[in-house]
Amino acid sequence: MSKGLDRRKAILSDPVAQFERAVEIREFENQINALFASGTIRGTTHLCNGQEALAIGLASVLRTDDPVSATYRSHGIALALGITPESAMSEIMGKATGCCGGLGGSMHLCDLELGLLPTSAIIGGGMPIAAGAALAFQVQGNDRVAVAIFGDGATNIGAFHETLNLAAIWKLPVVFICDNNVYAEYSRINLTTPIEDLHIRAESYAMPHFALDGMDIDVVREGIQSAVDRARSGGGPTFIEAKTYRFAGHSRADQALYRPEGELDSWKSRDPLLLLEERAKKSGKITDAQIADMKVRKAKEIEATVALCQNAPEPSAKTMFENIWSRKVSQ
């Protein structure tokens, strides 16, 4: 079994392992933010601080052969699914040792062994891809399920409505998860969308739908499990709206000065890491002292990962010609 598969297996049911993965994701994102701010990494990035419970809850429910199409804010989803910090960090730094050979960067992570389809920078771009995968499973007659994760802003575009309509008509084995973190880039949801509960849009397609607390991993796991079970048994698609909040701005350059006063503090009182830590302690499997040691250890591990990846080789120029297919057409 690969290291990634081992990492995936570790978080299936153990609350301590799930909390540790959340700590890892948070430390990873903090280091990524510092690296971009220092100019060590070119381009931009989008952090998922505050949204860890959704990523880990999803990964703990799915099988590794259930593909996930996600957005550009997906470092946490990649790590939750089992991609190693070294593989993700190297990719974000543009190194040859990255999960995509350094060609994808922050917004385009992929590991098909773990079920992560290439993450997309196109708003809503992953939804029709997930539906296509679900159609393939239906035609093949297997019980695999596809999942599409997208932001609240994506529910206002054509691909959302077209994909839900098609999935409902054909009863495709796909789960649509809206990661409603309140903001579509720099715009608060009330400024762009006439409804607050986005899941009710599935009514137009006679599709089961519900909202859940995306900050609570137990609620996330229960909700996604029900939708996955329905899809796997031939019941068709489900639309889930996970109520979350991003603690950082839209991208690394965004200080999120547009947020109403007190909003961030209110959401931080329900930080997924706080809830996961309390849950881990209630399991009786870990003490406060062990938790403190874990946090220190994970921080050191991510710092070591940064040093390792900074010294990794860069892709050679010839790699730009790899993964290109051509077909000779006879005259």
Domain residues of the chain, as ranges? 3-312
CATH topology of domain 3-312: Rossmann fold (3.40.50)
Asked if 236 contacts 173 with a C-beta cutoff of 8 angstroms, the reply is yes
CA distance 119 to 107: 6
pLDDT of residue 253: 86
At 211, list the tokens. Answer: 């909202």
**Below-50 pLDDT ranges, the chain:** none
How far apart CA 17 and CA 183 sit, in angstroms, is 30
Q: What is the pLDDT of residue 331?
A: 65
The predicted structure's pLDDT at residue 8: 95
How far apart are alpha carbons 152 and 183 in whole angstroms?
7
- The amino acid occupying position 33 is N
Task: Give the pLDDT score at 115.
Answer: 97
* Structure-token pair, residue 158: 């054509």
Q: How many angstroms separate the CA atoms of 111 and 99, rounded? A: 7
State how far the Cα of 4 lies from the Cα of 81, in Å rounded to an integer.
8
